[in-house]
Structure 1
Amino acid sequence: MPHSLFSCQHLIKRYGDQAVVNDLSFDIAPGECLGVIGPNGAGKTTTIRMCLGQTAPDGGHVTAFGLAMPRDALAIKARLGVVSQMDTLDPDFSCAENLLVYGRYFGLKDAAIRARIPQLLDFAALAHKADAKPGELSGGMKRRLSLARALVNDPQLLLLDEPTTGLDPQARHLMWERLQLLLQRGKSILLTTHFMDEAERLCSRLLVLDHGRKIAEGRPRELIAQHLEPDVVEVYGNGALALATDDAHAAVRALAGRVEVSGETVFFYTQDARALLQALAPLHDLRTLHRPANLEDLFLKLTGRQIREEG
């Protein structure tokens, strides 16, 4: 990629005989939000840790801003902002004090940090909570404070590891608004997420990982068009499952490019939704939902519908 800000090339990380990350390469351009999606155990967090120099790769290399990790780790980290999955705020400090202490880790003078604190709290919609401690904040407020803290050194690139996990819809939407503002200001973002709507809203480009390997890469809508039929008809209700198996419904299945079952719902992926809906209309006990194919459909097609346990 021309003018790459951050680059990982042929990364490998093994634990015992298992390759958790296996020959993974990607670049991040200035002003880009690159999303990394994949099931539990796909290697997302391990990749982030290698990007930060917290875990040494068994193969490959990481470069950023023309510098090499881990040789230039301190210089690289000075230009990064990080929001991890777990809350790492200091519970004994107020919101303002959390920002002040964190800024000192970058060698910033107290006067410079204090001048930035009101702007950072305002950006996080926490100006009214400057003197509150993290234990007094809601989950959404804590995540926004973590984001404000990650911005204290005015980083060029943010690494966000599932930044909205555990938040209610209102808090997630406010976080998305703040991330969009950062992108508009020219920041770059590397984002891992389990939320497909988050990935589609924020990311200009996506990596799909499974078993440590990159299995797809591209712009969200282009990936959807490349891998999926344009329309999905979901069918559920009494007799829905028979549509997927019974010979009597073979003509209905023939109108779909692909048929999948999840729980009590049958998914028809089709090029001709109108004909499919007409064929289903006489089956009055069934309920249907017609919608465009989306990123969740892509994710499930590429990685499967089976549950992946944590660990």
Structure 2
Amino acid sequence: MLDTSVFKKLAHNDTGAARDHQGGIVIPKALAEFFPPLPETPSPGNPTVDARLTAELFVDGVRVGNVETRYQHQTWGGTRSAERRLTDNLGALRNEAIEHDIVLFTKDLTDDTYIQIHLLRQGSPEYEKLNNQIGTSRWGPVDPENPPVSLTQIEDAERYLNATADEPPTVFGGPRPTSETRTVRKARDRAFRNKVLAQYQFRCAFTGRRFVSPLSCKTVGLDAAHVIPVHANGSDHPANGLPLTKELHWAFDRGLLGVNTDRTILVPESVAALGGNEFLKNLNGVAIREADNPSLRVHEEAFNWHRLNVLVN
């Protein structure tokens, strides 16, 4: 799931026209909070830390490359102030750029090794629109009202989810705080997804399927469904979570299938009788996969609620 984007107006040294300068794009500290995480912070004993990212490169909306790039935080052996930079294999984008062009960086909330980089060149309609919007700003969120999820919010959400998972299973969490922002919600959804999917070996609980992208070899195509949804005060405890492929998540949320008291899939006769639902019909009576940790398996109260309130007759 792609997050919202941040932008940077390029300096001359960020472009392929720069001479006698280490290749790459400098990432301002203010933008690093919205980038994929690095494993640690530079120190005298470890002056450069980095992560390998799969980057899809676009120039004026046209994809020009799918590359492995290096995101690093370096101090040149501790002799200079730390600087964050994207380097390696960005020539297809940097060689098309000139000073004052704009790049957009968009991370994936479900894959910390993937990023999209879009170059908007001066004179293009997209550049002119964004340039008028940002005014004199050199970098920042494209939409300040809906910024990307920050690393701090991700860390807070992971601590929250881990603490929640350590508590006795509960499937109702009470009303969401009215002050909870969209970015906090996205961070918690990310932490919930990661916790739930890991318990099921990154496979769908109903089919055992998973899908792996060759771009980064990370599992994609799986959601973590809240059995009792958030709008019904469903909790973020993993005992209220189920990994499902996207189409089965859609069907589960609309009551086209549920789970019996014996932990097998239940497809109502009215659903199974409809043409086009043969796949669902064949799932009827199949035992669901369970979380590795028994205390994190979906609580029966959650499945009961779903049968009573969501499953169609």
**TM-score normalised by L of structure 2:** 0.24
Report 1 or 2 for greater relative contact order, CA contacts < 8 Å, sequence distance ≥ 6.
1
Q: Higher helix fraction: Structure 1 or Structure 2?
A: 1
**TM-score normalised by L of structure 1:** 0.24
